[in-house]
């Protein structure tokens, strides 16, 4: 890439950050992460010019890289602290995992589509994110061997609260997940675990995510 090109992307990233801040994201750390990560590397060749628009974009296997505002919003809700153990369900392109890694979380990300998982496993270390832990499997099962987690972020829409994820969250832990019918508008839900059986629940906003599906592919 030429120097000019990389300067151009840097300028576009800066404007994206301004836009997200204007929409209400206050966390400096989240904004810094969005301002640093080269989203144009995560999208299809030929779509790079769209990478810094605040929109979701297609990736392989009919999946999407979430809209940057939603990535920022979910991350801000979780109030990520350095060394937090964070479970992500839906690795997809790996972009959200990189945002968490930039915030110094210890990231564990699960993907059910093997080809996307394999792609992320090669791509993320290549762009400098060697420490992100990736697992191929059904996110409804969480990541038992690594549990419990301080925070859990689900980046696909579930019809109901996935019980195992609740079990794998620490007491006091936070979880953010879109819940609602597939292919329609869902509610972004925020949970805080009070004790083994009690979750405080808040409804955040309307969102539209690809479905969280059972099994692997
Ligand atoms: N966080 C991603 C967004 C990916 S879209 C990013 O930043 O790019 C949602 C992803 O969730 C898709 O890759 C989809 O395959 C995955 N997914 C859906 N159901 C899943 C499940 N049960 N377990 C793990 N991943 C799942």
Q: Output the DSSP codes for the chain.
A: --HHHHHHHHHHHHHHHHHHHHTT---HHHHHHHHHS-GGGSS-TT-GGGTTSSS-EE-STT-EEPPHHHHHHHHHHHT--TT-EEEEE--TTSHHHHHHHHTT-EEEEEESSHHHHHHHHHHHHHTT-TT-EEEES-GGG--GGG--EEEEEE-SBBSS--HHHHHTEEEEEEEEEEES-TTS-EEEEEEEEEETTEEEEEEEEEE--PBP-SS--
Does 109 participate in catalysis according to the annotation? no
92 within ligand 1 shell (Cβ under 6 A): yes
- The pLDDT of residue 211 is above 80: yes
4 falls in which pLDDT band (50, 70, 90)? confident
- The number of the ligand 1 atom at minimal distance from the alpha carbon of 65 is 8
113 within ligand 1 shell (Cβ under 6 A): yes
Q: Which domains does the chain have, with CATH numbers?
A: 54-207 (3.40.50.150)
What pLDDT digit, counting tens, does each position of 177-204 carry? Answer: 999 999 899 999 999 999 999 999 999 8
Q: How far is the CA of 27 from the centre of ligand 1 (A)?
A: 25
pLDDT for 5 equals 85
2 falls in which pLDDT band (50, 70, 90)? confident
Phi/psi for 188 (5° steps) reads: -80, 120
What pLDDT digit, counting tens, does each position of 67-97 carry? Answer: 999 999 999 999 999 999 999 999 999 999 9
* Residue owning the nearest CA to atom 18 of ligand 1: 212
- The number of the ligand 1 atom at minimal distance from the alpha carbon of 140 is 22
pLDDT for 77 equals 97
pLDDT for 59 equals 95
Q: How far is the CA of 96 from the centre of ligand 1 (A)?
A: 11
pLDDT for 1 equals 65
What pLDDT digit, counting tens, does each position of 117-175 carry? Answer: 999 999 999 999 999 999 999 999 999 999 999 999 999 999 999 999 999 999 999 99
- The pLDDT of residue 3 is above 90: no
38 falls in which pLDDT band (50, 70, 90)? very high
């Amino acid at each position: 890439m030429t120097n000019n090109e990389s300067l151009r992307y840097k300028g576009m990233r800066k404007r994206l950050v301004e836009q997200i801040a204007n929409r209400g994201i206050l966390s400096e750390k989240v904004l810094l992460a969005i301002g640093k990560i080269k989203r144009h590397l995560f999208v299809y060749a030929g779509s790079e010019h769209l990478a810094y628009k605040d929109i979701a974009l297609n990736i392989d296997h009919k999946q999407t890289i979430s809209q940057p505002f939603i990535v920022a919003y979910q991350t801000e809700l979780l109030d990520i602290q350095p060394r937090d153990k964070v479970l992500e369900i839906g690795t997809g392109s790996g972009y959200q995992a990189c945002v968490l890694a930039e915030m110094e979380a210890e990231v564990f990300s699960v993907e059910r589509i093997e080809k996307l998982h394999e792609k992320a496993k090669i791509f993320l270390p290549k762009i400098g994110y060697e420490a992100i832990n990736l697992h191929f499997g059904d996110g409804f099962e969480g990541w038992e061997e690594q549990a419990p987690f301080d925070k859990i972020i689900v980046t696909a829409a579930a019809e109901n609260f996935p019980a195992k994820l609740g079990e794998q969250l620490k007491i006091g832990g936070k979880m953010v997940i879109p819940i609602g019918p597939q292919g329609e508008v869902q509610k972004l839900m925020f949970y805080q675990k009070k004790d083994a059986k009690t979750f405080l629940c808040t409804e955040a906003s309307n969102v539209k995510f690809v479905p969280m599906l059972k099994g692997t592919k």
